[in-house]
Chains A and B, each alone.
Chain A
Amino acid sequence: MKKMGKIDGKVFLLIITIVLFLAMYLAGVIIFNSKGFAKPQVFLNLFISNAGLIVIAAGMTMVMITGGIDISVGSVVALTCMMLAWMMEVKGVGAVPALIIVLIMGLVFGLVQGFLIAYLKLQPFIVTLAGMFFARGMTAIISQEMISVKNELFLQWAKSKINLTFLGGTINKKGVVNYPFIYPSVIIALIVLVLVFVLLKYTKFGRTVYAVGGSEQSALMMGLNVRRTKLYVYVINGFLCSLGGFLFCLNTCAGFVEQAKGFEMEAIASAVIGGTLLTGGVGNVFGSLFGVLIKGTIETFITFQGTLSSWWTKITIAALLAFFIILQSLFAKAKEKR
C-alpha cells in the first residue's frame, strides 16, 4: 500500500502511543541504568508478564472496533484459571484435555454473549456485565479456596525457557552463561496477535468488522451481514479470553476467586491508549500491543523505583486513559466541524 500523504487522526493517535512508549522506555533506561533497566531481559519481561493481556487486548480491540465492549474478560480469565487448576488438581484431568475444555468454555461463553448482543440487540455493556457476574460467581462455585497447579506437563509448559542466544549472554559468578529468555506463552501471544491482525486486515469478515463499527446502518445498506459479524466477533473474543486466561495461568500456576480483578479495564485501557476509537470503526491490534507495553513499562518503573506503591500504576493508566479519551473526543469534534 502506498504511504499516506497526510497524517490523519487515527494514525496520529497511534504515533503518539508509540512515541510515548519509546520515550518512557528511554527515560527508564536513563534513570534506572545502574539497576539494569537497559538489559534485554527487562524488555522481554514486559512480554512474559503480559502475554495473557496481549491476547485479551487483541480480542477487546476487535470488539471495540465494532463499537461494543466486553467487561467480562477479567472474570472469564479467573474462571479459566480456576477450571484449569480444579480439573488438573482435583479431578485429575490431563493438561491437554483441560486446556481443550476451557477453550470450548470460552467459545460457548462468547456465543451466548454474542447472541444476546447481536440478535436481541441488548447493550453490550449490560450483557457483559452479567457475564462478569456469572463467570466470577462460577469461579467461586467451583472452589472458594486457592488451587495451585502441580501438574507436571503444565508446569513444563509454564517454565521451559526459550533462550534468545542471538541477544548475547551474560556470565554469572558461577561461570554459567545466562541468555535472555522468553516462555512459550510469549510466542503464543505473538502468534495470536499476528493472526488477529491478518484476520482484520485481509479477510472479508475483518473488513466487515470495521464497516459495522464505522456505520452499522451503512453496513446494512451495503448488504453486509451485520448481525452475524457481531456474533462472530464475540465468539472469537470469548475464545481469546479463555486462551488469554490459559497464558495468564501459565504465569500464576494457580486459580482463585479474586484472580485477574480489573483485568477488563486494563484491556480496555490498552486498546484505547493504542488508538482504538471508543465509538468504533478504528483500531489496530498492534496499537493495543503498545498499550499493553506502556502499562507494563509503568509497572516496571514502579518495581525499579522501589519506594512507589503499586496504586501508582492505576492512577497513571487512568491519567493516560483520560488523556487519550479527551484527545479522541477533540478529534471527533474537529471532524464534525469540517
Chain B
Amino acid sequence: MPGEHVLAMRNITKTFPGVQALSHVDFTLRSGEIHALMGENGAGKSTLIKVLTGVEEFESGEITLLGEKGEIINHSPQEAQARGISTVYQEVNLCPNLSVAENLFIGREPRRAGMIDWKTMNRKAKELLKGLKIEIDVTKAIENYSIALQQMIAIARAVDMSAKVLILDEPTSSLDDSEVEKLFKLMKRLKSEGVGIIFVTHFLEQVYEVCDRITVLRNGCLVGEYETEKLPRVQLVAKMMGKDFDDLASIKKEKEEGKVREDIVIDAHGIGHQGSIKPYDLKIHKGEVVGLTGLLGSGRSELARSLYGADKPDSGELKVNGTHVTVNKPLDAMMAGMAYLPENRKEEGIVADLSVRDNLILALQAKRGMFHLIGKKEQEELAEEYVKILQIKTASLDTPIKSLSGGNQQKVILGRWLLTNPEFLILDEPTRGIDVGTKTEIQKLVVKLAEEGKSVMFISSEVEEMLRTCTRMAVLRDGEKVGELEEHELDQNQIMKAIAGGGADE
C-alpha cells in the first residue's frame, strides 16, 4: 500500500576534495514503507544520509518533506530531528556514561517544578522498553550493556521521538537473530503507523524480508529504484557490483593460466579474531593471486587483518613457507615476508605530512630496525627508483604525500611495500577512489608481481577487477569464509551466486 511521498530528494550533488561523492541522485520515500538503500562501499549511501540529516552540506539539489513548505535544508542533526527525521547509526551514538533512561530521554527529560523528575523518567523508560520486550535496569549506565542492546535502545529513542522519517543505517550488524527479529517487528509496526523507514544494510536476506522497495547507488550515482518483489537477488547483487547481469556474463576471461601450483607460501589453519572473523583455513601458493570476495561487512578486510596481525588473531596457527610463524603484531608479519596495503588509505596508509620519500622508505626502515638508518643517498636512490617504476606523479621526492592525488598516494604505499621485497602482499581495495588509468596500472602490476613469483591477496568490491587479476577466490559471508572458487569456476554467475548465498537460485 504505497502512501504519499513523505520525503523526496532530487538531483543531489556533493563533492569531496577529489571525489564526486553524489552525482544527481534522486531518492523518494513514501509514508508507510520500508525502503532499502543499497550499494557497495563508496557508493554514496552514507553521504546521502548525512546530507539529509545535516551532518554534511550538499552543493546542489533539493529536498522536500511532507508537511514542510518548499525546500528544506538541515544544517545539523538537531534541525533534522526537529523536522521529524530521526537516525540510528551503525556506530551506536549514545553516551556510554549515562543511564539507559537518560539516553532515551536526554534533551527532553520529564520535569517537575523545573527539576528533572527521575522517577517519571525511569518509569517511562521502562514502559518504552517493555513495548520492545526489553526488560533491563534502566538506571544503570548504558556501557554495562551489550552493543546489540545499546543499538535497540538507540532505535527505541529514535522511534519515541515520533519520527516522520526513520533512518536505520546498518543497525543490524551487531544484532543477533532474535534481536533482528524484534527489530523487524518494530519496523513493521511503525510502517503500519505510517512512518517512512530508510533501511541501509548489507544483509540481502534482511532486505528481502522487510523491505518494500530498493534504491541502488553505485559510485555516487543512482542505479535505479525497484520494487523488491520484482528484483531477484542475483540481479540486485549485479546492480550493486557494477555490471548488468547479462553484460557480466558476456565478458570472457582474458587470462590463461595452466600451471599446477605446488609451493605453498601461506598456510593458515583455524585463524580467527573474535567478533570479526570466524576461524578459517587458507592456503596460498607461490605466484598466485587469491581474491577475497563477499559483500561489505562479510569479513574480507577482517580476514586480511587477522592474517597480517593488524588484529591479533586469538586462535589458529600460521605457516609461512612451511615454517611456523607467530604473528602478534604487524612487524612479525613483515619479518615473515608479508606486506599489507590497508583499505583506508587516509587513516591507515599515508603519513600525510611526511614527504613522498619518507613515505616510501618507512616500511623498509622499520624492517631494518631503529638503529640502522638508511643513508640519505640510498633513500634517494630507492625512492627515485620506485617513483620511476610505478610512474608516481610528484613534483619532487620532498613533496608531502598529502598533496598528491589519491591514485599517486596509493602508488606510493604500494611502492613502500615493494621496497621491502615481500613474498606475500595483501592488497585491500587498492583501487578504490582512484582514477581509471591508475586503476588499470595497479591491476597490471598485480598480475606482473604474480608472474614474478610473488603471492597476492586481492580484495575488491568490483567483481570485474577481481576476474581480471585473480586466479582463485575465497568467498566470505557474514564474517565467515564459506567457500573457495577454483580458477575454472571463476565466472560472474558463480561469483554472484556465491556472494548472494542461500536463495540465489530461486
Contacts and interface: CB of A to CB of B under 8 A. Distances in A.
Physical contact A–B (CB less than 8 Å):
yes
Nearest to A202: B115
A28 B422 CA distance: 67
Interface stretch (B96-104, B223-231, B461-469): B96-104
Interface in A218-242: 218-225
A212 to B, nearest CB: 8
B77 A204 contact: no
A281 B96 contact: yes
B208 interface: no
A8 interface: yes
A218 B77 contact: no
Given A203-B116, A204-B116, A4 B102 contact: no
Contacts of A282: 97
Nearest to B146: A338
Nearest to A221: B93
Interface residues of A, number: 30
Interface in B130-151: 137, 139-141, 143-144
Interface of A: 1-2, 4-5, 8, 10, 198, 201-204, 207-208, 210-211, 213-215, 217-225, 281-282, 335
Contact of B77 (A198, A207, A214, A220): A220
23 contacts: A1-B118, A1-B122, A2-B137, A8-B141, A8-B144, A10-B97, A202-B118, A204-B116, A207-B102, A207-B116, A208-B107, A210-B97, A210-B98, A211-B98, A214-B96, A215-B94, A221-B77, A221-B93, A222-B103, A222-B106, A223-B81, A281-B96, A281-B97
Interface in B104-125: 106-107, 109, 111, 114-116, 118-119, 122
Judged by DSSP, the binding face of A is helix
B78 A225 contact: yes
A293 to B, nearest CB: 25
A36 to B, nearest CB: 43
A285 to B, nearest CB: 16
A208 B106 contact: yes
B19 interface: no
Contacts of A1: 118-119, 122, 139
Nearest to A5: B137
Nearest to B117: A202
Contact of B107 (A8, A214, A224): A224
B97 A214 contact: yes
B78 A211 contact: no
A224 B106 contact: yes
B107 A223 contact: yes
Most buried by B among A223, A224, A225, A281: A223
Contacts of A198: 115
A217 B106 contact: no
Contacts of B139: 1-2, 4
B106 A211 contact: yes
A223 B109 contact: no
A225 B102 CA distance: 16
B65 to A, nearest CB: 17
Contact of A211 (B81, B95, B157): B95
B27 interface: no
A168 B111 CA distance: 43
A221 B89 contact: yes
